[in-house]
Structure 1
Amino acid sequence: MSVDSQRLDRIDPTTRRVPPLGGFSWTFLGIELKRVFRNFSVVGFTLIFPIAMLFAIALPNKGYPATDVPLEQGGLSAAVPIMISMAVYGSMVAASMTGVSVAAERAQGWSRQLRLTPLNPLVYMLIKVITGLALGAIAVIVTLIAGAALGITAPLGNLIVAALLAWLTALSMTSLGLAVGYAFPAQNAMRYLGPLLPILSFMGGLFVPLSLLPAELQMAATFTPLWGIADLSQKAIIGAPLDPMAWVNLFAWFIVFTGLAVLMFRRDTRRV
């Protein structure tokens, strides 16, 4: 009998302890964060595209009021809700890209290796969500700083509330990315997710005000995943009352996407 076999014989599975917090490790979280920030294509697109949209869309509308109060009387510029919409978009892209990265990890065998460790699968998904939140926060902050540099300003209280709401986009969008990443092979995951994000953004009112769309599309938009967060953040930054149905939309889609991510994960693990 080899030495390795003798060592295996001496292992008593009943004496092995489950690691605390399901195997959560700050070291592993740090590794995940480094891996994301070293992916210049994701970080670059997440940060550059919203800023480019500020120049293309927000600046031309800077001279128009966002409310009935004229700019000369202290009213907010129409560029302000556009700015927060681009922050939402940046957070959405950052989070969904982080989540869908599991497709490449599955193809490389990294996910299979992690299953040989004491790491709880749900903790692994939690680490992905935290990573998506970190990158989403950077996207929101950079977009708002760029907006301020362009002279697009809002009351500080409104700005903080709207920024926090925009950041919440990362929660549901990371779950969506995880669901797609576990559902499809690496070569197809981004092929499906890529076109989906602009469509959801358009229907949520990030690219075009919903008031400009036909009434039927406006009604349909209220059931799409980004309508709630877009409506909440846009109204928060101009100080308008928040729609309770927007909160319902936000949490309902978070539950749906999280449930899909767990379902796709369990389906994937059954095949291994």
Structure 2
Amino acid sequence: MTTAATLARLDAIDPSARRPANGGFSWTFLSVELKRLFRNSTVIVFTLIFPIVMLVLIGIPNKDQAITDVPVAQGGLSAAVPIMISMAVYGAMMASTMTGVSVAAERTQGWSRQLRLTPLNPVVYILVKVLCGLVLGGIAVVVTLIIGTSLGITAPLGNLLLAGVLAWLSSLMMTSLGLAVGYAFPAQNAMRYLGPILPILSFMGGLFYPLYLMPEGLQIAAKFTPVWGIADLSQSAIIGVAPDPWAIPNLLIWFVLFTGFAVMMFRRDTKRV
């Protein structure tokens, strides 16, 4: 075959035909990522076991203490109810964050580089990570609420469902934080930074300790932290009161900031390939 004929055949090839459908997304790819995630014992401990242990240690001793004028024995809400949803939020946050930060280990192992040499769309790669975080986060919320209910920590079903959905969806913001840290730092440093940061943010946001018991200055400062919006929305929903007007703006602002940081770190990382 002459050179001219070869070039003609190459010109006849439609480049779009080589692009995978849906940017490379497939249920097989998603299932593989989920299996890899569930094989990580650290993820399981911090997203499923740790919140339940904390619920038993903190929630059960407060189960008979009412947060309203109506005693718990007469149908009043228990002080353990907001603790239960707080632990569910923490589990969902950890699931989302650790799913995102797993890219750091994949970068070290060369897996991310291999994927970028394929036709897989980078957006699809991020989307799969987000979906994995949602799946694990949803499991963390459901398991925590079921365990809490079985231990006698009850709330109206509508409140429970709404709070669970809010805890699940709002924790998606933390996937962006995990991705940003995962692309910004090596694997050995990523969780070293996030490990102490998440509990501190959770404490300051009112997940581990009621804000109304904190000094006024800390209560004001809490409204500027990333976890406060998630905590206020879910806790308000489960006890049946209106959330703070600034809870949703807090959640959206931090989501935009974390997502922007994740995109910036992703672009910086891909430039090195």
Same fold (TM over 0.5): yes
Structure 1 residue 22 displacement after superposition:
1.9
For 2:253 and 2:181, how far apart are their aligned partners in 1? 18
Question: Structure 1 residues 13 and 114, CA, compared in 2 at 3 Å: closer, same or farther?
Answer: farther
Deviations 1:60-91 (A, max 9, x none): 11111122333243210000000000000000
Residue number in structure 1 paired with 2:108: 107
**Matches of 1:154 and 1:166 in 2, distance apart?**
15
* 2:99 maps to 1:98: yes
**Aligned pair count?**
266
Deviation at 1:16, TM superposition (A): 1.9
Check the 8 A contact 1:94/1:136 in 2, yes or no.
yes
Separation in structure 1 between the aligned mates of residue 91 and residue 118 of structure 2, nearest angstrom: 34
- In the alignment, what sits opposite 2:121? 120
Structure 2 CA distance for aligned equivalents of residues 141 and 24 of structure 1: 27
Once the two structures are TM-superposed, the CA of residue 119 in structure 1 deviates from its matched residue by 1.0
**Alignment deviations for residues 161-220 of structure 1 (CA, whole Å, 9 cap, x no partner):** 000011024311111100000000111111111111001100110000011111111101
Q: Which residue of 2 aligns with 1:271?
A: 272
Counting only pairs closer than 5 Å after superposition, residues 248-259 of structure 1 correspond to structure 2 as: 248-259=249-260
Q: Distance in 2 between matches of 1:37 and 1:155?
A: 32
Asked whether the equivalents of residues 46 and 91 of structure 1 are also in contact (C-alpha less than 8 Å), the reply is yes
Question: In the aligned structure 2, how far is the partner of 1:21 from the partner of 1:219?
Answer: 45
Helix, strand or coil at the partner of 2:171: helix
Off by >4 Å, runs of 4+ in structure 1: 7-14
CA shift in 2, pair 1:13/1:58, >3 Å: farther
Cα shift readout 1:1-55 (whole Å, capped 9, x = no counterpart): xxxxxx9997569622133322212111111011101112211221111111111
Q: Say if 1:52 and 1:246 are closer, same or farther in 2 by CA, change over 3 A.
A: same
Q: Secondary structure at the match of 2:52?
A: helix
8 Å Cα contact 1:66-1:80 kept in structure 2: no
Please give the alpha-carbon distance, in whole angstroms, between the structure 1 residues aligned to 2:257 and 2:69.
37
Structure 1: which amino acid aligns with 2:15?
Answer: R
The answer for the alignment partner of 2:183 in structure 1 is 182
Q: Structure 1 12/265 Cα, relative in aligned 2: closer, same or farther at 3 Å?
A: farther
1:16 partnered with 2:22: no
- Corresponding residue of 2:239: 238
What is the CA–CA distance in structure 2 between the aligned matches of 1:13 and 1:80, rounded to whole Å?
Answer: 66
Alignment of 1:56-205 (within 5 A): 56-205=57-206
Alignment-derived partner of residue 37 in structure 2: 36
Q: What TM-score results when the alignment is normalised by the length of structure 2?
A: 0.93
Paired with 1:114 and 1:41, the residues of 2 have a C-alpha distance of 24
**Quick check: 2:60–2:80 contact (8 Å CA) kept in 1?**
yes
Counterpart amino acid of 1:31?
V
Matches within 5 A, 1:213-224: 213-224=214-225
1:11, 1:196 → 2: CA distance?
54
49-58 or 18-27, larger mean C-alpha shift: 18-27
Q: Work out whether residues 132 and 170 of structure 1, in 8 Å CA contact, stay in contact via their aligned partners in 2.
A: no
Q: 2:171 touches 2:230 (CA, 8 Å); kept in 1?
A: no
What RMSD, in angstroms, separates the aligned Cα atoms of the two structures? 1.8
Distance 1:72 1:261, change over 3 A: same
Rounded to whole Å, the distance in 2 between the matches of 1:106 and 1:165 is 32
Q: Which moved more, 1:72-81 or 1:138-147?
A: 72-81
The equivalent residue for 2:54 is 53
Ranges in structure 2 where 5+ consecutive residues have no aligned partner: 1-5
Q: Compared with structure 1, are the counterparts of its residues 29 and 68 closer, same or farther at alpha carbon in structure 2 (3 Å cutoff)? A: same
> Secondary structure at the residue paired with 1:227?
helix
SS at match of 1:154: coil
**What residue in structure 2 maps to residue 4 of structure 1?**
none
Deviation at 1:143, TM superposition (A): 0.4
SS at match of 1:230: helix
- Using the aligned pairs only, state the percent identity: 72
Give yes or no for contact 1:106–1:112 (8 Å, CA) kept in 2: yes
d(CA) in 2 for partners of 1:173, 1:124: 17
Q: Distance in 2 between matches of 1:99 and 1:211?
A: 32
Moved more, 72-81 or 101-110: 72-81
CA distance in 2, matches of 1:89, 1:52: 12
Q: Which residue of 1 aligns with 2:3?
A: none
